Structure formats: structure tokens, C-alpha cells
Amino acid sequence: MSTVEIIQRVIDFIEDRLDEQLSLDQIAQAAAMSVPNLYRIFYAMTGHPIKEYIRKRRISEAACLLRHTGLSSKEIGFQCGFETYQTFIKTFKRTTGLTPGLYRQTEIIYYFERMNLSERETYLEEREISERYPDVKVIRLAPQMGVSYVHISAQEEGIEEQALRAFQTLLHESQIDIRKMRLFGWNVDKEENQSLFGYQLAAVAQEPFDFTIDHSELRPITLPGGTYAVTWTPFDTDKAIVKAWNRLLSEWLPRSIFELGERGFLEEYQQYSGRVARLKLYLPVQQSHEKEGITLLDRAPLKVMSFRAEGERSEVIADEAAAQWLTRNGFVGDQRLQVFMHCSYGHSSDKSSTYEICITVPEGYPPSQEEEALVSMMEGGLYACLTTRAYGSMTGVLEQIYRWLGASDEYKADDERSWYAHYIPHESSQNWAGTDLERFVRVSCCVPIVLRNASKEERS
């Protein structure tokens, strides 16, 4: 048995007895090794002293009970393996910074996940990145067998919740205990009918399971494995979930040593007491062997149709307005068009945020009287550009460019012009407007620059 397998057995042994009094002698005996060996090897394989791991897991379970049940703090303390109520309060406050009572009244989430060493991916990351994003881990997910269901809806908003309720009902009717399954979900394209939206769910077994299902809406599935960057978010509002995805895709990924992988995005619904408590996000990644460098480009001015919105839903409103204009004029998939995006730096979807989509006006196209107000000129000039895959609000990419400018003796950012992202469809994509941008589009993020010692006359 390998060291990884031995320590995983130790972890499983601990997890099955979190509500019991556990001694290191007892755990070492189960692992057939001495206590000093156990302590040393456990720390080497997990990065946590074994006592700290047990304490954090117990506090994580207690935090979940505090948030999702009506049990008293005292009951929860004893249920999570603490010898006395006083010990529970002291440990909880030392770990989370709050007493159990105060924790229950706040929106703060403490979460320390059970470890699965078979999913660990070994890689070297810059210390700054690991400290800045301690919740993001890169894992290797093994292929898993299960049963799946595809939910179709005419409305994209709320489709995940609808699909989850329907899937839970189907599993119950098929006498499948959902508590023993891991639930994954992902968006699916309905290419044959773009007015419909699809969301697929899969329940995969954590233990051997017979997936012979006699139900017309349930199908067996093998969930492909792969390398994923993983983080989590409370399962409460769409806004929080979108924010977590954007943080992973547009902030962590461009700063990391990885690039977007070829597999699909996944969401895992983590249940507690029969309810979904957390959503775990899986971003497919692969190690990047070559990072794009920053290039300087002198860009010409462009005449564009500008679709700009402000406020919390600015991105949705601008996207919808641009899509309607494209559809109304028969421009969907037109390879002559160039598409650009600009948003508030660090776009946070609050009341002060702005989001703008600009599309080049085709030669000979006469804008209607109503559209004249949308026509504008994108400024030309010198730009520092970094080309990557499509990364949401571009926060991480912009930071790289601004850092480069901060270290440059020759150039600086031109505050009189705006940065923009230029979406560049892959040559093989004939209708990229209806596809997943991250799959078929690269994006050139361009920040306007000037010579550090240039006069106003020289800039213009």
C-alpha cells in the first residue's frame, strides 16, 4: 500500500469518527504506524498537523450545523466531538474569530473541506498567488459513473434550481438515495433550438452502485475526469455564484501557471441534511507551457455601435442589447464584424459599475435614426496588448499589463483613453456568437499607453 493510500485511510478513519473522542494512539494503531511517524507523514502529505486537521474539520461541521439547523450550540459542540461546551466555544472562536452565537447571526462562512488525496495535483505556484487565493486548489478528478438527467427550459434564469428539483424527484421515484451520491451539473447547448436552454445533472456514486435504471428521463453516464481548479461558494444567490466564477476565471486563472483546459465547466452541489449548502466550482485547466507576452500595437480609430449599461445588471443589459441588434440586422455570425468590450476595472456588478459592448459598423450599413445615438468612434493610438483566452471582466489580465507599465521606464498608461478587450474568434468557428466564448475565442486586452515624457502635443 502506498503512502498516499495509507494517509487516505487515516483521513477516512478520522472522518468516520469526528463525533467521537480520538487519540493519536488510536489513529496510529489503525494506520499500523508509530505516533511520531503518523504525525510526520500526515503533515507531509496534507500540509496540516493531524490535530489541526481534526479540529478544523470539526469546526467546519459545526459551522454548517449552526447555519442549517436549529440545534443549540451546546448540542452541536457535543455532536461534533468536543469534550465540553467550553472547549467548543473556545476552539470555535479561535478558528473562526466568532463565538457560535455570533457566527449564526452573520453571513460569514467558515469551511474546511474533507481531503481526498487521490484528487491532489502536484504543481509549483508562486507564493503570492497561493496566499491571495487560498481557497483555490487544483485537483485531478477521477472518472465517475452515475446517472444523469437533462432539463430543458425556455428561460435561462433559474434553470439550475428547476433542474435540481426535478432531478431530486426522479431519483426519489427511482429509489436512489441522493444522500449517498455526489451531484454535478453543467450547462448544455441546444444547437438545434437556440431559443431553449439546457442544464444537465449527474449523480455519481461514492461507493459501488448498480446504475440499472428503468426511467425514460434518466440515463447512465460516465463523468470524465481531468484536471480542475476548484473553489466553492455558498448556495444562496445567483449574484454570489457569478462572482465566484468570475473570481476563478478572470482573476485567478490569468495570474496562475495554468490555462483553460478543454473539458466543460462543472458545478458540484454539496448537500447537508438533505439541503444544498454549498456549490463547488470546477474550472478545467492545464499547465501553460508558453505565456503570451505583452506587445505594443498602434491601432487605428474604429466606427462602432456602442451598447452601454450601468448598474448591477449592466453586463446582462448590454449583452442583450448587442445580441438583439445583431439578430435584427442578420449579422449573427458575420465574420466582417469586430467585437470589443469595456467595463469598470474590477467589474463588481454594483450600482456604480458600467459595461459596454462595441461592434464595428459594416461598410455601407446605414444606421437608422434611432441607432444614430449608438454610433461612436473607438479611439486609436498606441496600446499595450496581451492576448489570452476569454476571461470575464479581464481583471487578472489588466493587472499584468499595469504591473508591466509600472516597471517600464519608457511607457505609462494614458488616462485620457479607455482600455478595451478585443474578441478574436477562432478561424474554425463560423458562428461564434452562439457558442461558449471561452472555447472558441481569444481576447486581446489593450491598455492605452504613451511615452512617459511625452508632451500633450506628442500624445495627440
How do the domains of the chain map onto residue ranges?
A: 3-120, 137-287, 295-459
The one-letter code for the residue type at 175 is Q
Range 73-94 average pLDDT: 94
- Nearest-CA neighbor of 245 among 260, 273, 271, 265? 265
Count CB atoms within 10 A of the CB of residue 417. Answer: 19
What is the per-residue pLDDT for 283? Answer: 95
Range 85-99 average pLDDT: 93
What is the per-residue pLDDT for 189? Answer: 77
* Residue 350 pLDDT class (50, 70, 90 cuts): low
* Residue 7 pLDDT class (50, 70, 90 cuts): very high
Range 261-267 average pLDDT: 91
Range 142-171 average pLDDT: 90
pLDDT higher than threshold 70 for residue 334: yes
Range 365-382 average pLDDT: 92
Look up the CATH architecture of domain 3-120.
Orthogonal Bundle (1.10)
- Euclidean distance between CA atoms 374 and 360, whole angstroms: 11
The one-letter code for the residue type at 69 is T
What is the per-residue pLDDT for 167? Answer: 93
Identify which has the larger pLDDT, 131 or 286.
286
- Euclidean distance between CA atoms 29 and 280, whole angstroms: 34
- Nearest-CA neighbor of 296 among 393, 388, 389, 405? 405
Identify which has the larger pLDDT, 251 or 207.
251
- Euclidean distance between CA atoms 420 and 318, whole angstroms: 15
What is the per-residue pLDDT for 275? Answer: 76
Q: Please check whether the two domains, 137-287 and 295-459, share a CATH topology.
A: yes
- Nearest-CA neighbor of 71 among 57, 83, 85? 85
Q: Is the four-CA dihedral 409, 414, 419, 423 of positive or negative sign? A: negative
Q: Residues for the chain: how many in total? A: 460
Residues 40, 48: contact at Cβ < 8 Å?
no
Range 21-44 average pLDDT: 90
Percent of the chain with pLDDT over 90: 44
How far, in Å, are 238, 264, 382, 412 from residue 447 at the CA level? 31, 30, 9, 10
pLDDT higher than threshold 90 for residue 303: yes
For the chain, give the mean pLDDT.
Answer: 86
pLDDT higher than threshold 50 for residue 116: yes
Residues 111, 186: contact at Cβ < 8 Å?
no
pLDDT higher than threshold 50 for residue 175: yes
pLDDT higher than threshold 80 for residue 25: yes
* Residue 134 pLDDT class (50, 70, 90 cuts): confident
Question: What is the tens place of the pLDDT at every residue in 41-55?
Answer: 898 888 889 999 999
What is the per-residue pLDDT for 291? Answer: 64
Contacts (Cβ under 8 Å, ≥6 apart) of 401: 294, 384, 386, 445, 447
* Residue 274 pLDDT class (50, 70, 90 cuts): low
What is the per-residue pLDDT for 332? Answer: 85
Q: Assign a CATH topology to domain 137-287.
A: Multidrug-efflux Transporter 1 Regulator Bmrr; Chain A (3.20.80)
**Measured torsion, CA atoms of residues 86, 90, 92, 96, in degrees rounded to the nearest 10:** 160
Question: What is the tens place of the pLDDT at every residue in 414-444?
Answer: 989 999 999 988 665 554 444 455 556 888 9
- Nearest-CA neighbor of 132 among 350, 356, 438, 395? 395
Look up the CATH architecture of domain 295-459.
Alpha-Beta Barrel (3.20)
Question: What is the tens place of the pLDDT at every residue in 388-400?
Answer: 876 677 888 888 8
